């Protein structure tokens, strides 16, 4: 075990130096050899690799490790490495108040004691040694896709996976597990989250239509309920974070996870930016499959309330992206193009329309 930890630490040391210099190969002789099979010719020479920016890294060999850069996340850099200590994922996370790597480590450590199939195994955590937090975990085989589940069997697998996660009740036996990053358990919590997003910019910086939307949401009378039972939740139900397998699904990217209301997680899935363009009848399949198996008899009542309020929340969250990028407030590790921001602004307009329609529907209810 000690040897495996040392091998993983050496691997992380190498990748950290590479990231620090924005160079896939640190200075020094015989440190790495580029992979020549399946790699573009431009990457097959040592000099070319030294000059390539990180977003163009493909794969290379370092000592006995075959390392591949993996895309996807906005707030981290992810690598897959196959070598003497196994097949692992090395994740570098930005530093912020969320303690992303620490939160993910706590989640994976707890889940490892509950199931061998829900999530990767945690292998190494480094919060302080490098410029970014680092977590190493086992690599999960399977498919990650932006597409909706393909058929009833796939929807059932997704539903079963979420039910298994949500079956873990809040317990003092897991002190490292905190509330989810967005801890919403009531309509009041959701309204506070909306206010927080809106107040990140001045009222004058928002389009009038967005200000009107927020005013309308705050003026409506929303249902109240007794505090729901808290369960373990992913905190970020982006479909790309689910690993599809023939018989059961698994999850990666637990840096938003913690104790929360499963009804909110289901509602967030329904209106998540990664799914909002799916046909409505598809996403509703999750509710129809999930609720009959939940032991929470009021869960079906809370989901539509959260769903409407999260449409407003997403309108605001997407509206902040471009102004914060221009001002330097946004500190993502991923390099994003102007076209990416323009796509998000178009998506924000869609949320604005959907949220306005949803709020109008609530106003018409006597």
Residue 59 shares a structural domain with residue 161: no
Residue 255 lies in a domain: yes
What average pLDDT does the segment 14-37 reach?
A: 54
Indicate if the pLDDT at residue 35 is higher than 60: no
CA distance 256 to 103: 7
CA distance 233 to 110: 12
| pLDDT tens by residue, 216-253 | 999 999 999 999 999 999 999 999 999 999 888 999 99
Higher pLDDT, 76 or 194: 194
What average pLDDT does the segment 280-305 reach?
A: 93
Residue 307 shares a structural domain with residue 215: yes
- The CATH number of the domain where 95 resides is what? 3.30.200.20
| Predicted local confidence at residue 49, as pLDDT | 40
Residue 19 lies in a domain: yes
Residue 81 shares a structural domain with residue 203: no
Residue 99 shares a structural domain with residue 29: yes
The beta-carbon contacts of 142-145 under 8 Å, at least 24 apart in sequence, are 142/243, 142/244, 142/245, 142/249, 142/250, 143/243, 143/244, 143/245, 144/72, 144/240, 144/241, 144/242, 144/243, 144/244, 144/252, 145/239, 145/240, 145/244
What average pLDDT does the segment 85-101 reach?
A: 91
- Nearest in space to 95 (alpha carbons), one of 123, 124, 120, 126: 126
Number of domains present in the structure of the chain:
2
Domain final residue, candidates 87, 105, 138 = 138
pTM: 0.86
| Predicted local confidence at residue 4, as pLDDT | 81
Helices (DSSP H) in the chain: which residue ranges? 2-20, 46-51, 100-112, 152-166, 187-199, 208-219, 262-271, 280-290, 299-319, 321-327, 338-363
Confidence of residue 116 (pLDDT cuts 50, 70, 90): confident
Residue 17 shares a structural domain with residue 122: yes
Residues with Cβ within 8 Å of residue 74, at least 6 apart in sequence: 332, 333, 334, 336
- Nearest in space to 180 (alpha carbons), one of 243, 102, 255: 255
What average pLDDT does the segment 38-42 reach?
A: 35
Residue 164 lies in a domain: yes
Count other C-beta atoms under 10 Å from residue 274's C-beta. Answer: 14
Domain final residue, candidates 138, 160, 184 = 138
State which residues form the domain around 40.
Answer: 2-138
| pLDDT tens by residue, 249-276 | 999 999 999 999 999 999 999 999 999 9
């Amino acid at each position: 075990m000690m040897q495996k930890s040392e091998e993983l630490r050496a691997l992380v040391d190498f990748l950290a130096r590479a990231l620090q210099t924005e160079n896939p190969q640190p200075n020094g002789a015989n440190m790495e050899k580029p992979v020549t099979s399946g790699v573009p010719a431009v990457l097959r020479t040592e000099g070319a690799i030294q000059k390539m920016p990180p977003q163009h890294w493909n794969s290379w060999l370092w000592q006995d490790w075959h390392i591949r850069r993996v895309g996807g996340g906005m707030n981290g850099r992810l690598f897959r490495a196959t070598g003497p200590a196994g097949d692992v994922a090395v994740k570098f996370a930005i530093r912020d108040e969320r303690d992303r790597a620490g939160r993910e480590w706590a989640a994976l450590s707890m889940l490892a004691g509950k199931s061998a199939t829900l999530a990767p195994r945690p292998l190494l955590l480094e919060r302080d040694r490098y410029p970014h937090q680092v977590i190493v975990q086992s690599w999960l085989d399977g498919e990650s896709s932006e597409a909706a589940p393909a058929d009833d069997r796939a929807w059932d697998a997704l539903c079963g996976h979420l039910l298994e996660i949500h079956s873990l009740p809040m317990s003092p036996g897991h002190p490292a597990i905190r509330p989810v990053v967005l801890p919403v358990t009531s309509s009041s919590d959701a309204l506070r989250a909306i206010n927080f997003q809106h107040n990140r910019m001045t009222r004058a910086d928002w389009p009038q239509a967005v200000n009107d939307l927020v005013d309308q949401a705050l003026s409506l009378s929303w249902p109240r309920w007794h505090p729901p039972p808290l369960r373990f939740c992913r905190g970020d139900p982006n479909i790309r974070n689910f690993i599809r397998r023939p018989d059961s699904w698994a999850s990666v990217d637990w840096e938003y996870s913690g104790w929360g209301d499963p009804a909110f997680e289901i509602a967030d899935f329904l209106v998540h930016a990664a799914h909002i363009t799916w046909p409505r009848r598809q996403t509703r399949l999750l509710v129809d499959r999930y609720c009959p198996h939940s032991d929470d008899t009021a869960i079906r009542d809370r989901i539509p309330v959260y769903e409407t309020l999260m449409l407003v929340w997403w309108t605001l969250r997407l509206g902040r992206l471009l102004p914060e990028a221009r001002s330097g407030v946004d500190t993502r590790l991923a390099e994003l193009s102007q076209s990416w921001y323009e796509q998000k602004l178009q998506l924000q307009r869609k949320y604005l329309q959907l949220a306005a329609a949803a709020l109008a529907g609530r106003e018409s209810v006597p």
